């Protein structure tokens, strides 16, 4: 480790004495503790302590309650789950090993709206954080912690934790300082309006304030974020992007928004990234993003000049884009703001700015209810993430999905979703590669034919029509043949195909 680099990064000299190996810092943890770790969609996560805790757990099971921003990188979630480090996990994850432990019940998973965790910690609905582990690219003269590629819940963890461990990551350039805007709402009843009225506005500080006495340990690392694993666009995601762009052009033509649209949010993952990437082929200019994650597509839009500025809580990029981004950081410095996820996803701001939320559905039903989380109604995929923060409170809630999965064995359009994450009250627009259904102002009986004819795969339209026609004979605001409503899922479970043979 380069001592001079470390001294430049830790600008409060007295703190240099708190540098210690991760193994030593791991001794601060005791079984059953509640731990807050930085990290949001594989960006800005602590790299050393998860591994040190896995080692530590060989001596003694830790059964921690682990709270993060969102998913961790570096296989940390999976390793910690497999080693018995974590017994309870919130508010989001995206790891295959952890997912298995969740679905067997070995790890208890609390699937939360990403805006709410900080509020629940502040209000005492969740236990107090014993130790916060926060990745930083620098510690300032006043002790304040400068985050790396994500802010997530780190500011709230630092505020509430009994002890704080800083992971100083030399692989994260010190030039990230200045990108962040740290604002944490005050406890009630002294809560004031959040003064943000524009996506790019700065309302806070560039680092997380802390009394330096509360920094219990500093662990130095030199390890990059895991690269994002989104797949490249394909014909289907191109088609979805085309439908979304045509719809947004129609909104502009109808005078419902200006040519720069309203601020965009795009969920994590391949499809949302591809749709956003499709905007580089559009005529839109002066776009803004007010999102939770920036993926490759956002940087591409910044590069093309179509995106004027972007606000988020994390930046998660592929390896080549990550390199390009850091090399050109000064070009983006005035056009990117990284905020706490409580602010990037805050109901107050989402409603005020009128966000266009673009999120991925696992499946949706003919009446517009969306399942974002549960495979077959029972098994957790990743979690609801911020989709609910944006869908409920934003101006437009658009959900995208490919019309089929598993080579046509699964239809993403079903009679009734087997788990509801977004209700018919919150869903405005549904899109698959076949088309787009604009549900605004429509009653359920008007939505069903539209969803079937516009969004379902042609192979599934006849059975969906048949279901809906028989449901109509039973009547109701939302007609269903209740004993068949979930039969497609049950058929897939037993025969691996949703269609009757």
The annotation places the binding site for CoA at: 382, 386, 406
Residues 393-412 as x/- pattern, contact with a copy of itself by CB under 8 A: x-x-----------------
Binding residues: 382, 386, 406
- Over the range 486-500, which residues count as b (16 or more CB within 10 Å of their CB) and which as e? bbbbebbeeeeebbe
First CA to last CA across the chain, in angstroms? 64
Question: To the nearest whole angstrom, how small is the minimum distance from the Cβ of residue 425 to a copy of itself?
Answer: 6
124 touches a copy of itself (CB under 8 A): yes
487 touches a copy of itself (CB under 8 A): yes
> How far is residue 431's CA from residue 436's CA, in Å, rounded to a whole number?
4
> How far is residue 277's CA from residue 287's CA, in Å, rounded to a whole number?
13
Spatial CA neighbour of 36 closest among 12, 67, 10:
67
Q: Which is nearer to a copy of itself, 107 or 312 (CB)?
A: 107
**Of 185-193, 241-249, 265-273, 330-338, which segment contacts a copy of itself by CB under 8 A?**
185-193
> How far is residue 287's CA from residue 304's CA, in Å, rounded to a whole number?
11
Q: Which of 473, 482, 500, 501 binds a copy of itself (CB under 8 A)?
A: 482
13 touches a copy of itself (CB under 8 A): no
Residues 257-276 that bind a copy of itself (CB under 8 A): 262
Q: Which is nearer to a copy of itself, 14 or 466 (CB)?
A: 466
Cβ proximity of 55 and 252 under 8 Å: no
Return the residue matching tokens 């005529």: 283
101 touches a copy of itself (CB under 8 A): no
Q: Which is nearer to a copy of itself, 47 or 89 (CB)?
A: 89
Question: To the nearest whole angstrom, how small is the minimum distance from the Cβ of residue 324 to a copy of itself?
Answer: 31
Q: Are strands 396-400 and 429-432 parallel, antiparallel or unpaired?
A: parallel
For a copy of itself (CB under 8 A), the number of binding residues is 85
Residues 419-458 that bind a copy of itself (CB under 8 A): 419-426, 428, 440-443, 445-446
Q: How many Cα atoms within 13 Å fall on the side-chain side of residue 271? A: 19
Torsion of CA 343, 346, 352, 358, to 10 degrees: 100
Spatial CA neighbour of 208 closest among 257, 154, 255:
154
Q: Which of 135, 167, 292, 433 is catalytic?
A: 292
DSSP bridge partners of 374 = 380
285 touches a copy of itself (CB under 8 A): no
Would you give the DSSP letter of residue 303? H
Residues 359-378 that bind a copy of itself (CB under 8 A): 369, 373-374, 376-378
Q: Which is nearer to a copy of itself, 117 or 169 (CB)?
A: 117
Return the residue matching tokens 């990108």: 179
119 catalytically annotated: no
């Amino acid at each position: 480790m380069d001592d001079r680099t470390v001294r430049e990064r830790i600008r409060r000299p007295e703190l240099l004495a708190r540098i210690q190996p991760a193994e030593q810092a791991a001794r601060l943890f005791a079984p059953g503790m509640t731990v807050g770790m930085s990290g949001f969609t594989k960006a800005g996560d602590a790299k050393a302590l998860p591994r040190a805790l896995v080692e530590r757990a060989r001596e003694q099971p830790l059964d921690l309650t682990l709270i993060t921003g969102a998913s961790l990188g570096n296989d940390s979630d999976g390793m910690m789950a497999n080693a018995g480090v974590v017994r309870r996990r919130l508010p989001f994850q995206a790891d295959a090993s952890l997912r298995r432990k969740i679905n067997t019940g070995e790890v208890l998973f609390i699937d939360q709206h990403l805006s709410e965790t900080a509020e629940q910690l502040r209000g005492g609905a969740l236990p107090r954080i014993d130790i916060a582990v926060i990745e930083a690219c620098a510690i300032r003269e006043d002790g304040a912690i400068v985050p790396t590629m994500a802010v997530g819940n780190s500011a709230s963890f630092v505020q509430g934790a009994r002890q704080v461990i800083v992971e100083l990551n030399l692989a994260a350039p010190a030039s990230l300082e200045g990108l962040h805007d740290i604002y944490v709402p005050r406890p009630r009843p002294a809560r004031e309006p959040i003064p943000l009225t524009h996506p790019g506005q700065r309302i806070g500080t560039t680092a997380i304030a802390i009394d330096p006495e509360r920094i219990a340990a500093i662990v130095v690392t030199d390890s990059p974020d895991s690269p994002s694993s989104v797949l490249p666009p394909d014909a289907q995601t191109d088609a979805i992007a085309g439908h979304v762009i045509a719809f947004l052009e129609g909104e502009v033509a109808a005078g419902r928004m200006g040519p720069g649209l309203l601020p965009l949010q795009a969920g994590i993952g391949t499809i949302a990234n591809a749709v956003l990437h499709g905007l580089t082929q559009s005529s839109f200019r002066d776009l803004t993003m007010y999102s939770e994650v920036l993926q490759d597509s956002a940087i591409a839009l910044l590069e093309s000049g179509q995106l004027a500025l972007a606000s988020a809580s994390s930046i998660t990029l592929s390896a080549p884009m990550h390199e390009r981004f850091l090399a050109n950081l000064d070009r983006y410095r005035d056009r990117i703001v990284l905020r706490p996820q409580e602010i990037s996803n805050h109901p107050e701001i989402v409603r005020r700015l009128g966000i266009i939320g673009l999120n991925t559905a696992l499946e949706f039903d003919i009446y517009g209810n969306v399942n974002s989380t549960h495979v077959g109604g029972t098994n957790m995929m990743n979690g609801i993430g911020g989709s609910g923060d944006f869908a409920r409170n934003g101006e437009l809630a658009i959900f995208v999905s490919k019309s089929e999965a598993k080579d046509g064995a699964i239809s993403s359009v079903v009679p009734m979703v087997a788990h509801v994450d977004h209700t018919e009250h919150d869903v405005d627009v549904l899109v698959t590669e076949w088309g787009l259904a604009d549900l605004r102002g429509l009653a359920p009986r008007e939505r069903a034919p539209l969803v079937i004819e516009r969004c379902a795969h042609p192979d599934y339209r006849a059975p969906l029509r048949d279901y809906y026609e028989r449901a109509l004979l039973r009547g109701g605001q939302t007609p269903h043949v209740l004993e068949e409503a979930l039969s497609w899922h049950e058929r897939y479970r037993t025969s691996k195909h949703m269609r009757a043979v």
